[in-house]
Structure 1
Amino acid sequence: MSDLTAFALLCFTSFFTILNPIGVMPVFMTMTADLDSAAKTKTARKAALTSFITMVTFAFTGKLLFQFFNISADSFRVVGGIIFFSMGYEMLQARLSRMKVSEEDVRQYVTDISITPLAIPMICGPGAITNSIVLMESAGTFEKKAVLIGMMALVNAIVFVVLWGSAGISKALGDTGNKILMRLMGLIVMVIAVEFFFSGLRPILRSIFNVG
């Protein structure tokens, strides 16, 4: 196996595991339960595209931005945990799903959720951003950098396909099934949020209190 092939495999497996499109799918289904197929497709496309652009941006500028603003990945995890918890609570109350709304409201809703929380931090969270920065530093040649960007594009394309395909599952579940799934996923998202929050908070507290 060539060095370039090994690097491509590393990029693909690490990003696919971190982005976890199968794990994002139930959340996407519950948040878009009352949207039509076209709106769901648009949401999935915008979320995947936003995630890709974010990953590429941080790959090239992330280290400098983090240093300039004195931001750590742990701080990002804490904020992500707060966002996840708020979203999970709304899902637990079955309030994320929209009733009949105007076309303008639907467009605004699609724009809102496709960027936050779907693209950031649900798909492209601290792990994906950190992975982008670390792998870009490891990519010493132009070829490796090109492979890295290509793998980012491929994994986000897979994310789009998975989310796009979830529309059929959502339709099969029906209104009651979607609400049950929403509450179940709300509980899971809240648990993930707590883990996310404390995985970021622990290193920060250790640094503050100088605990090894």
Structure 2
Amino acid sequence: MDNLITFAITVFTGFFAITNPISNMTVFVSLTQGAHKQTKDAINKKANIIAFIIVVVFILLGKYIFELFNISIPAFKITGGILIFFIGFEMLQSKQSNVKSLNDVHIEEDIAVSPLAIPILAGPGTIVTAMNFVSNAAPLQMFMVILIFGSMSLITYFTFKLSDHIVKFVGYNVISVIGKIMGLIIAIIGTGMIIQGIKISFDLISN
């Protein structure tokens, strides 16, 4: 039971750091600036639903994707760790990750798919993080990962819904500091994945 609680806390922390609803809230505000409330709500709902579906597909089919492309777990953990570390490092340097770079977009519901759902909410970092959690997971743990990401999608939805009020109340400076803290956590998660991948490669821990 204690192991499941520890696992759940780890998964929630990882998803919260990589999806970063507070930091992404400023992106949502900038993309939907000037839009009607109904349009914002529609974009918000559509983006989070699509992101949830994408991540769940990778959680459920990740094992078969590994087998199809002959991807080993150590190789995945090391490569994924490098990617996640790079995203976190960019956030610490106050840079917009290339994975999340945005061009000028018209305020249409299409932005719910791209760039909001992909790659902001369900980008490579999120997918790699999700697949890492279930790479050796039992069915119960896999269900917990899906459930926790679903809760993250709900948190993101309500954060975006209240984004205008939150930004006015908290201010961009505080949000920027939170973004840096999330970047540090992401970088640490990436480093941990690299170390774990190396240990598995050299049989230092059981696979």
Q: Which residue does 1:81 correspond to in 2? A: 85
Runs of at least 5 residues in structure 1 that lack an aligned partner in the other structure: 1-5, 140-144
User: How far apart are residue 202 of structure 1 and its match?
Assistant: 1.4
Q: Deviations over 1:75-108 (max 9, x none)?
A: 323212223333453458xxx9999x56269965
Equivalences for residues 165-204 of structure 1 within 5 A: 165-173=161-169, 177-178=171-172, 180-204=173-197
TM norm structure 1: 0.60
1:119 matches 2:122 = yes
Distance, in Å, in 1 between the alignment partners of 2:187 and 2:149 is 30
Q: Which residue does 1:158 correspond to in 2? A: 154
1:28 matches 2:18 = no
Q: Indicate the structure with greater helix content.
A: 1
Task: Indicate the RMSD between aligned Cα atoms, in angstroms.
Answer: 4.5
Distance, in Å, in 2 between the alignment partners of 1:97 and 1:48 is 19
Distance, in Å, in 2 between the alignment partners of 1:149 and 1:79 is 20
Give the percent of matched residue pairs that are identical in Structure 1 and Structure 2.
16
Runs of at least 5 residues in structure 2 that lack an aligned partner in the other structure: none
Alignment-mate amino acid for residue 119 of structure 1: A
Q: Which residue does 2:131 correspond to in 1? A: 129
Q: Note if contact 1:85-1:194 (Cα within 8 Å) is conserved in structure 2.
A: yes
Distance, in Å, in 2 between the alignment partners of 1:148 and 1:20 is 15
Figure out how many residues of one structure are paired with residues of the other and give that number.
188
Q: Which residue does 2:139 correspond to in 1? A: 138
